Amino acid sequence: MSLNELKREGDINKSSLRSQWNKQLSEQSTTLLQEDERSFLKQSMSTPCLEAVSDAEGCYITDVNGKKYLDFHGNSLHQVGYKNPYVVEAVKKQVEELPFIPRRFTADITIQAAQALVNKTMSKDYRVLFTPSGSAAVGLALKIARKATGRHKVISMWESFHGAGLDTISVGGEYVFKKDMGPLMPGVLKGIPYNGYRNLINSEDPEEIASFCLRYLEYMIENEGNIGAVLLEPIRATDTHIPPRSYFEGLGRICDQNGILLIFDEIPTALYRSGTFYVHQQFGVEPDILVLGKGLGGGIIPQAAVLVKTEYDCAGDISLGHYTHEKPALGSAAILATIDYIDDHKLGERCQVLSAFMRDELNKLAERHECIGDIRIAGLLISIELVKDKGTKERHDDLAERVLYYCLERGLSFKVSGGNCLTWHPPLVVTEEELWCAVSLVDEAFTALGK
Ligand SMILES: Cc1ncc(COP(=O)(O)O)c(C=O)c1O
C-alpha cells in the first residue's frame, strides 16, 4: 500500500516528518519504542509508536520525559477525562466488592448500568447486551438484525469504520482494513455517506445532498431486495460530517417502509461528545439498534454495549454474545460513574457552551487562513479540512501532516483523518482556555509553515 493510499485512511507513521520526529526523541523514549517494536505486531496506523507515555490525567497525557500533551485524540474515549475521580473510585470499590460476575449469574451493579443507559434514551424501550469491544458490539448488532428480520443483507456506508473484526471490516468502507483479507461477509452493500463538503453532485446544499444520498439508498433497497439492516454512524467521528435533520427523517421512513432495522454506531460519538447524550437525539429519530463503546468505560475499562428495541428481543433460542464479560462488574461500575459524573458536572450544557466558543474561534481562524476549506463542528467533534485551493478543494495532505508534527512538538495531540482533516475530539472537561490555546497553536502553525 502506497503512502498516499494510507494517507486517505489516517495518520502516517513512516513519513519523512516521522523520521525527523524520531531524531528528537530521548534515549529513554527510543529504547522503549524499540522494545515496543520487538514486542508487538506491526500494523498500519498504529505502529511504530510516536512516544512512550507514563501518565494520563484529565485532558493530558505525559510522556516518559515529563512532557505533557493536551490530548484531542485519546482514541475518542476520554469524554470525562483520564483518571476521572468518580470512575477511579467506583472501579476501585467494585474491585474490592465484586470484581467478576460469572455467566448464569447477575448482580445489581450490572442491572443498574444497563438501566441507566436505557433511561438516557428517548423511548426508554430497549434491552441491553454488554460486550468487551465496540467491534464485538457491532457484530452483535448485525446478528440481532439477521435474527429479527430473517434477512442477512445489510447496507453500510463507504468510508465508514465499525471495527477491525472480519464481520466489521465487511461492513466497513475503508480499504486499509480489508486489504489481503480475502472473502468477507456476503450480503453487504455500500451506500453513499453524507458529505456536505465533497459529494458526487458537487452541491453545497445540505438538503439536496441528503436527498441524493437517500435516493441512492432507496434505489439500492429496491434493486437488491431483502435488506435486513442499514448501519451507519449518525455523525461520522473522523472527518465529522453532520447531516441535516431531514436525512434522519428520510432514513427512518425508508427503513420503516421496507421493514429494515436502523442501526446507529455511536461508539466514539455518544455521551455528549456531539452535543447530546446520544447523537441521534439531536435529530429526533431513534434507531432500532444502538451501539455504544469507547467512553462508556470512563476512559479506564474496555466496555461496549448494544441497545436493542424491546420488540426485537427475539433471540432466546440462540447464543448471541456469550461473552466471558457479558455481565461486566467493573465495566458496569465505570458506566454508572461516568453517567453520574456527566450529570453532576452538567457536561452536556458545558459541551454546548464550548462548542459555540469553538465555532466562533474557528470561523475567525478560517478568515485568517486560506488553507481552511471547511470547518465542521457538532458539540466537541471538530474537523478542520485543509485544502490547497478553496475552489478546487484539492486536499492539502502535506500541510495537515506538518501542522500535526508542529503541534505535537509543542504539546498538542490530535488525529489527521482522510489525509487532510485535523480531527479534534477534546475531552468534555476541557476548559475554554485550553481550547483557545489549541486554536492559537494551529493559527501559529499555519503562519510559521507559510500558509
Ligand atoms: C465508529 C466506530 N465503530 C466501531 C469501532 C470499534 O471499536 P473497538 O475498537 O472498541 O472495537 C470504532 C473504534 O474506533 C469506531 O470508531
Task: Give the helix, strand, coil percentages of the chain, each rounded to 5.
Answer: 45, 15, 40
Residue nearest atom 8 in ligand 1 by C-alpha distance: 134
Domain match, 354 and 340 both: no
Domain match, 136 and 154 both: yes
Domain match, 38 and 101 both: no
**Beta-carbon contacts of residue 175 (< 8 Å; ≥ 6 apart):** 5, 9
Distance 291 CA to ligand 1 centre (A): 10
287 touches ligand 1 (CB under 6 Å): no
Task: Give 58's DSSP letter.
Answer: B
Last residue of a domain, one of 319, 344, 369: 344
Domain match, 94 and 217 both: yes
Quick check: pTM over 0.85? Answer: yes
Domain match, 49 and 63 both: yes
423 touches ligand 1 (CB under 6 Å): no
132 touches ligand 1 (CB under 6 Å): no
Structure confidence at residue 44 as a pLDDT band (50, 70, 90): confident
Query: What pLDDT is attached to residue 445?
Result: 97
Domain match, 194 and 120 both: yes
Domain match, 122 and 246 both: yes
Ligand 1 site-directed mutation target among 267, 271, 300, most atoms within 8 Å of CB: 267
161 touches ligand 1 (CB under 6 Å): yes
Distances (CA, A) of 64 to 53, 243, 273: 5, 41, 29
355 touches ligand 1 (CB under 6 Å): no
Where in the sequence is the domain holding 100, given as residue range(s)?
85-344
pLDDT in tens, 400-427: 999 999 999 999 999 999 999 999 999 9
Distance 155 CA to ligand 1 centre (A): 18
Distance 378 CA to ligand 1 centre (A): 19
Domain match, 324 and 384 both: no
Give the residue among 248, 235, 331 at the shortest CA–CA distance from 278.
235
User: Above 70 in pLDDT, residue 3?
Assistant: no
At 10, which CATH number? Answer: 3.90.1150.10
Q: Which residues pair with 47 in a beta bridge?
A: none
At 277, which CATH number? Answer: 3.40.640.10
Structure confidence at residue 1 as a pLDDT band (50, 70, 90): low
The overall average pLDDT reported for the chain is 96
Domain match, 191 and 214 both: yes
Last residue of a domain, one of 311, 327, 344: 344
Domain match, 184 and 311 both: yes
Domain match, 395 and 308 both: no
pLDDT in tens, 240-292: 999 999 999 999 999 999 999 999 999 999 999 999 999 999 999 999 999 99
237 touches ligand 1 (CB under 6 Å): yes
Distance 13 CA to ligand 1 centre (A): 20
Domain match, 206 and 311 both: yes
For residues 162 and 180, what is the distance between their CA atoms, to the nearest angstrom?
18
Distance 75 CA to ligand 1 centre (A): 9
Give per-residue burial for 116-147: e unless 16+ CB within 10 Å, then b.
bbbebbeeeebebbbbbbbbbbbbbbbbbbbe
Collapsing DSSP to helix, strand or coil, 412 comes out as strand
288 touches ligand 1 (CB under 6 Å): no
Last residue of a domain, one of 293, 319, 344: 344
Count of domains observed in the chain = 2
